[in-house]
Structure 1
Amino acid sequence: MQLEPMQMALPVTLPDDETFSAYFGGEESLEVNHLKATLENRNDDFQFTYLCGLADSGKSHLLYATCIAAQELGLSTMLLSLREVISFGPEVLDGLESLDVLCIDDVHLVAGVDIWEKALFNFFNRFNEKGKCLVVTADLLPDMLHINLPDLESRLKWGTTFQIRSMSDDDKAEALVKRANMRGLELTDECARFLLTRLSRDMRALLDILDRLDHASMAAQRKLTIPFIKATLKL
């Protein structure tokens, strides 16, 4: 039985602060301007974008932001994290062609898996219609993924490709300060760098920590200082 896409639970929760304006590369970066244009001009032709980058490049953030922007335009959309749904099999793609905008994260995880490759190729063909927008991410370029199905590799080369550099520690510190400011939370550069030296450098983990600190700061009516951070996180 084919699943209705809007009846399926989102594989991930869309963070309300992972918007284009919060993207560390800048709201006026080439990739952000391109993604905005694909949503605005999607009635012209099928729009396909391939975002390539290693961990902490911000490519998943761009998928969240694309879905949020699509929702604001009243479009039906979904973010499909292959890391989250790969165990359910390629049947998760059934029915998603009815969406206006689909974002698929971590395509590289199914490269070399024949059943997934065939399903992605077939879905690509079903979704390839005027008014549709598809954005996918992977860690490498299509011809470096070791895809077994040549037709799928060819499809992944169709659209506009962006290679996104990984975030440096300076980028991460700046992103943490910016994200805190968006929440009305004051995080000094010194505190941001303290978090980077004492905790995981994974940006998603750092943002989860920032969320904890935000709640703790509000509850205690305290500013974020290094002693307060140490006490809250038991460092």
Structure 2
Amino acid sequence: MALPVTLPDDETFTSYFGGEDSLEVSHLKDSFSKLSQSFQYTYLCGLGDSGKSHLLYATCIQAQERGLSNMLLSMREVIDFGPMVLEGLEALDVLCIDDVHLVAGDDAWEKALFNFFNRFNEPKKMLVVTADLLPDMLNISLPDLESRLKWGTTLQIRSMSDDDKAQALVKRTKMRGLELSDECARFLLTRLSRDMRTLLDVLDKLDHASMAAQRKLTIPFIKSTLKL
């Protein structure tokens, strides 16, 4: 089954807004180094724009660079396919599941996730799960699944402030070989949605427009391109 999930190639540990020395990045990198010894499981918890999805993309990219089979499942995008999407995924080396809170209270999904945990719990396997709340706050109906979600390491990630988002935009454009001033980044935050995914989509549009027009990213150019 082809799943509608793609990996942004610039959402790496290097581009993570918290930095490569952050606790969450350091932990995930360390998990890869321990992979040959034991099952590695991490639960990332945070609201809204906390960068959880970015960390999952980065984990999959890291797995690819290490030659490990991997997949990212966005529950928001695959939930309607049903629990059958988990069948056979135990053959992977690394699996990332985003927004697991969306299936809380769904008996079929909860049982399927519990059974998958049991199948996947082996050395040389790595599982990273994200949710908006801690496991015991998700209203999980199946106690055994709640228990499984508490295995391993749980990391709570703070939401990004406007300053964090502005710095992330500046950093991302710099990685693309462009320059976005702090003033331009703050302009985008005041005139557009503060949702980080929306901002990154806009950044893609500005990137292409800048290259096509051979223009720098200035506020007048941004206004003209985005029709603001």
Alignment of 1:7-86 (within 5 A): 8-86=1-79
> Match for 2:105: what amino acid?
G
In structure 2, C-alpha distance between the alignment counterparts of 1:109 and 1:117, rounded to whole Å: 11
- Residue 116 of structure 2 corresponds to residue 110 of structure 1: no
**Corresponding position of 1:215:** 208
TM-score, length of structure 2 as denominator length:
0.99
- Residue 91 of structure 2 corresponds to residue 91 of structure 1: no
SS at structure 1 position matched to 2:14: helix
In structure 2, C-alpha distance between the alignment counterparts of 1:10 and 1:117, rounded to whole Å: 20
In structure 1, C-alpha distance between the alignment counterparts of 2:168 and 2:114, rounded to whole Å: 36
| Percent of matched pairs sharing the same residue | 83
**Corresponding position of 1:5:** none
Q: How many residues align?
A: 228
> Match for 1:223: what amino acid?
K
Structure 1: give runs of 5+ residues left out of the alignment.
1-7
TM-score, length of structure 1 as denominator length:
0.96
Cα distance change on mapping 1:129 and 1:159 into 2, 3 Å: same
Retained in 1: the 8 A contact 2:3–2:78?
no
Cα distance change on mapping 1:180 and 1:84 into 2, 3 Å: same
Structure 2: give runs of 5+ residues left out of the alignment.
none
In structure 2, C-alpha distance between the alignment counterparts of 1:186 and 1:53, rounded to whole Å: 30
SS at structure 1 position matched to 2:2: coil
Retained in 2: the 8 A contact 1:10–1:78?
no
Alignment of 1:127-206 (within 5 A): 127-206=120-199
**Corresponding position of 2:218:** 225
For 1:85-136, what per-residue CA distance to the aligned partner results, in whole angstroms no more than 9, with x for missing partners? 0000000000000000000000000001111000000000000011100000
